[in-house]
């Protein structure tokens, strides 16, 4: 048999009607120029869809290479989806004990975007493949899970309902319309202008990315590109003008842009910011994937009086690292438990996260969040119809321990009142100009770390403060300043106050490492419990006469070093009625022994803190705490299956005891062997992930343990971003724009990807999201 000419085989059938807008073969407009090829890769010749009479798997006398240079099957559509119709599609067994399944041509109905590759026996999405979709299953590898293809929450339906697919589908339909009307982009504008347009819009994206990542405002009083040199034009137009002066190629591109398409208005800025926030949220959801996650929620009011709800998810990514991401910053006027629950669950649904994947929840101790019957944590459990353990934020609880210690001893409260008075006195203009010592810190009611900073300054600069107060009281200051300085001077020279300074600095200093570690994203609940136990043990070791004797002399040196005169004491005289008697004991008021009083205060403070820590950090959920303890490499019950089982029951994961037995023997020597440095659970999972993947029950238990976070510190950190973004000069900002800016500023490591990695995706979405005067593709 004569060998078939491959050129004839690749040639399109003569019955194919060319598009009205298609240029003749060989013309210069039939392919992109070199500049455009950097953005749109050149299409290689593809095998045309086969007819109904084709045999499955038959590709002719000589089959071409199965994949193009881009890694895609050769038989996919070039100008339209390759919707192949075969008498019988290949069948294959996909799962154990499952019948053989195949692709069906009926799936093309109402899915004009769907195409099928005979070479790969897989389904693809034509518009996503052509217009920059990031779903690798439908654009690169192909979808083959025929069992779930028609499920409403999976397969084709899930892909077609995604925002990214819809955007790509719009771009495809717009291109079809231009081709059908003879107004294809290649006939309207040359490729060089396309490159200039993309360069111009790309520069605008870079400016916006820089400003939002650094929490900087964009707009000023002037919003016109023609007035960018005027005062009040804002940072966006100022940076835009600076970029034009630094980049001659960009300036040349700007000169070709129509004046009604400069894309510098606030509407365009808001649209690009919204697209960036949408992409960041989608990437967070994609990173979460099918993992179980912890829900963290906290709220605060902004200057407008609206409640801002920070929604954070904690999960393990594909590299076995713990991540905490700000999913959204929502605004609500209703702060009851039901309203907050609806806001959070609706936002999870809108973002694309399954609420049924919530492993645990972490909030503060407010009744609206933690209430056992009507709190948000209970409402979510009722909504999901299963147990979702609630963790009271450890940072909040540490703060409440200090609050309890202050309220239980009036002397401690008086001490911090003096510290706060010192801070306010030092802030007075006439005083601030003369004080050259270390600045005092402001006491924060919400955070006890401010108390530690204040105590540290008072202890370190005590002599300087005493000398300054004494000096300013004798200078030509106003009467109220002199009176206040004399009172503060007397207060801080009392030995009881200097003693309390040393005691509180010691106690707060021992609790500070735990507080700082609890704010780290990588800190899991196991580590948090160990930190609290360590801090409690250190404070308990302070409760001894020896420790008191170490602190007492220091307080005397501090007080005597000021040179303050001792208060005069009235001479005591014996009562005349008792002069004929020997007095062995007296009743009634006696002079107080300052050392005994400070000693009582010392032990009282420590006892108050220890009792409060024991009450707050006791094991409320005993079975889960025991399960977490069994997953700690340093525990004596490490990987005991029965102890770990309650944690697996949360997600209905089967317990396989054999896997735990093997894992315990394999990991025990690596974790606690002689001469081997002890490792934490997070390091263990990251290091041994390949081995643990063969023991899925053990790996699931480890992931669950690390997902149990201990604090809402990430939520509180987002409020700092809120304060910086929603400044007093931006009070008229809409809540929607505010939410987008906060997320982009807080997750700036993701926002910076718009400079390179995600820029193409953003430009395509921007191009297809409306009728644009500037053509980009």
DSSP 41-65: PPPPP-PPPP-TTSPTT---SSPPP
pLDDT in tens, 416-440: 888 888 888 888 888 887 887 788 8
And the tokens for 210?
């820089």
Q: Which residues contact 135 (CB under 8 A, 6 or more apart)?
A: 125, 128, 159, 162, 164, 165
Distance CA 139, CA 76 (A): 11
Residue 19 is predicted with a pLDDT of: 38
Name the DSSP class of 654: P
Q: Is the dihedral of CA 352, 354, 357, 358 positive or negative?
A: positive
Mean pLDDT, residues 141-161: 88
CB 237 within 8 A of CB 217: no
Residue 702 is predicted with a pLDDT of: 94
Predicted TM-score (pTM) of the model is 0.71
Residue 492 is predicted with a pLDDT of: 87
Crossing angle of the two packed helices 191-213 and 735-746, in degrees rounded to 10: 90
Crossing angle of the two packed helices 479-492 and 410-427, in degrees rounded to 10: 140
Return the percentage of the chain with pLDDT > 70, whole number.
Answer: 80
Q: Which residues contact 715 (CB under 8 A, 6 or more apart)?
A: 296, 297, 298, 310, 312
Closest CA to 639 of 621, 623, 658: 658
Task: Report the b/e string of 387-423 with b at 16+ CB within 10 A.
Answer: ebbbbbbbbbbbbbbbebbbebbebbeebbebbbebb
And the tokens for 527?
């580590």
Mean pLDDT, residues 523-551: 89
Mean pLDDT, residues 30-57: 36
Q: Which of 228-237, 345-354, 618-627 has the highest mean pLDDT?
A: 345-354
The answer on pLDDT for 1 being more than 50 is no
Residue 87 is predicted with a pLDDT of: 86
* Beta pairing partners, 115: 124
With cut-offs at 50, 70 and 90, classify the pLDDT of residue 226: low
Distance CA 456, CA 13 (A): 86
Distance CA 121, CA 103 (A): 8
Helices (H), 428-494: 429-432, 449-460, 462-472, 479-492
Distances (CA, A) of 636 to 13, 259, 671, 699: 75, 73, 12, 19
And the tokens for 53?
């009479």
pLDDT in tens, 651-686: 999 999 999 999 998 887 776 554 445 677 888 888
Mean pLDDT, residues 520-526: 86
3-state SS, residue 636: coil
CB 244 within 8 A of CB 205: no
The answer on pLDDT for 606 being more than 50 is yes
Length of the chain: 777
Mean pLDDT, residues 620-648: 87
Which H or E run contains 298?
strand 293-301
Distance CA 392, CA 225 (A): 51
pLDDT in tens, 78-129: 888 999 888 889 988 776 667 888 999 999 988 999 999 998 899 999 999 8
Distance CA 639, CA 695 (A): 12
DSSP sequence for 485-518: HHHHHHHHTSHHHHHHHHHHHHHHHHHHHHHHHH
Q: Which range, of 31-40, 390-399, 550-559, 660-669, averages the lowest pLDDT?
A: 31-40
CB 321 within 8 A of CB 732: no
Distances (CA, A) of 665 to 78, 278, 281, 633: 56, 46, 41, 12
């Amino acid at each position: 048999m004569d060998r078939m000419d491959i050129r004839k085989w690749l040639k399109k059938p003569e019955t194919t009607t060319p598009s009205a807008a298609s240029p003749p073969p060989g013309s210069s407009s039939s392919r992109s120029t070199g500049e455009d090829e950097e953005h749109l890769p050149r299409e290689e010749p593809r095998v045309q869809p086969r007819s109904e009479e084709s045999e499955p798997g038959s590709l002719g006398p000589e089959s071409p290479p199965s994949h193009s240079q881009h890694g895609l099957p050769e038989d996919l559509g070039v100008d339209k989806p390759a919707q192949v119709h075969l008498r019988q599609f290949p069948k294959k067994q996909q799962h154990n004990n499952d019948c053989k399944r195949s692709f069906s041509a009926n799936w093309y109905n109402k899915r004009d975007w769907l195409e099928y590759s005979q070479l790969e026996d897989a389904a693809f999405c034509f518009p996503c493949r052509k217009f920059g979709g990031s779903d690798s299953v439908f654009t690169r590898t192909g979808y083959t899970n025929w069992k779930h293809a028609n499920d409403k929450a999976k397969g084709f339906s899930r892909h077609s309902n995604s925002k990214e697919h819809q955007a790509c589908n719009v771009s495809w339909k717009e291109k079809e319309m231009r081709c059908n009307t003879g107004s294809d982009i290649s006939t309207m504008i040359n490729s060089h202008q396309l490159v200039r347009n993309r360069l111009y819009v790309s520069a605008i994206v870079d400016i916006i990315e820089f400003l939002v990542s650094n929490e900087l405002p964009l707009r000023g009083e002037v919003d016109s590109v023609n007035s960018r040199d005027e005062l009040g034009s804002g940072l966006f137009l100022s940076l835009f003008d600076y970029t034009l002066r630094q980049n001659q190629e960009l300036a040349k591109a700007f000169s070709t842009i129509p004046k009604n398409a400069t894309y510098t208005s606030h509407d365009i800025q808001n649209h690009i910011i919204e697209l960036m926030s949408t992409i960041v949220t989608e990437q967070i959801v994609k990173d979460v994937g099918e993992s179980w996650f912890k829900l963290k929620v906290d709220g605060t009011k902004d200057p407008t009086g609206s409640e801002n709800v920070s929604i954070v998810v904690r999960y393990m990514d594909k590299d076995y690292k713990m991540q905490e991401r700000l999913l959204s910053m929502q605004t609500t006027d209703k702060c009851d438990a039901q309203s907050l629950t609806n806001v959070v669950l609706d936002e999870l649904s809108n973002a694309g996260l399954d609420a049924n994947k919530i492993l645990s929840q972490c909030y503060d101790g407010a009744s609206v969040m933690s209430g056992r019957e009507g709190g948000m944590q209970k409402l979510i459990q009722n909504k999901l119809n299963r147990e979702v353990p609630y963790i009271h934020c450890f940072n909040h609880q540490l703060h409440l321990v200090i609050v309890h210690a202050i309220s239980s001893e009036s002397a401690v409260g008086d001490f911090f009142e003096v510290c706060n008075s010192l801070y306010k006195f030092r802030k007075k203009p006439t005083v601030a100009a003369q004080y050259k010592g270390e600045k005092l810190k402001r006491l924060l009611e919400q955070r006890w770390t401010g108390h530690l900073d204040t105590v540290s300054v008072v202890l370190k600069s005590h002599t300087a403060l005493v000398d300054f107060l004494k000096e300013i009281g004798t200078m030509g200051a106003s009467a109220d300043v002199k009176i206040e300085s004399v009172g503060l001077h007397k207060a801080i020279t009392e030995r009881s106050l200097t003693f309390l300074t040393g005691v509180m600095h010691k106690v707060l200093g021992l609790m500070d490492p735990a507080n700082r570690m609890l704010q780290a994203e990588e800190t899991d609940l196991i580590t948090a419990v160990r930190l609290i136990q360590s801090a409690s043990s250190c404070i308990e070791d302070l409760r001894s006469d020896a420790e008191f004797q170490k602190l007492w002399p220091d307080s005397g040196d501090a007080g005597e070093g000021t040179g303050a005169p001792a208060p005069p004491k009235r001479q005591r005289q014996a009562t005349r009625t008792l002069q004929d008697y020997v007095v062995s004991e007296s009743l009634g008021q006696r002079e107080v022994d300052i050392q005994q009083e400070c000693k009582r205060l010392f032990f009282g403070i420590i006892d108050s803190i220890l009792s409060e820590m024991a009450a707050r950090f006791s094991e409320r959920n005993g079975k889960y705490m025991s399960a977490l303890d069994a997953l700690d490499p340093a525990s004596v019950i490490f990987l005991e299956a029965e102890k770990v089982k309650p944690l697996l029951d949360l997600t209905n994961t089967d317990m396989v005891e054999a896997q735990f037995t093997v894992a315990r023997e394999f990991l025990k020597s690596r974790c606690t062997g002689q001469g081997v440095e002890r490792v934490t659970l997070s390091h263990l999972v990251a290091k041994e992930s390949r081995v643990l993947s063969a023991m899925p029950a053990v790996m699931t238990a480890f992931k669950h343990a690390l997902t149990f976070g201990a604090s809402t510190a990430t939520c509180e950190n987002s409020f700092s971003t809120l304060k910086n973004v929603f400044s007093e000069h931006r009070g008229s900002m809409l809540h929607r724009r505010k939410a987008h800016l906060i997320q982009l500023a807080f997750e700036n490591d993701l926002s910076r990807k718009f400079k390179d990695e995600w820029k193409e995706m953003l430009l395509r979405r921007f191009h297809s999201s409306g009728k644009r005067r500037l053509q980009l593709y």
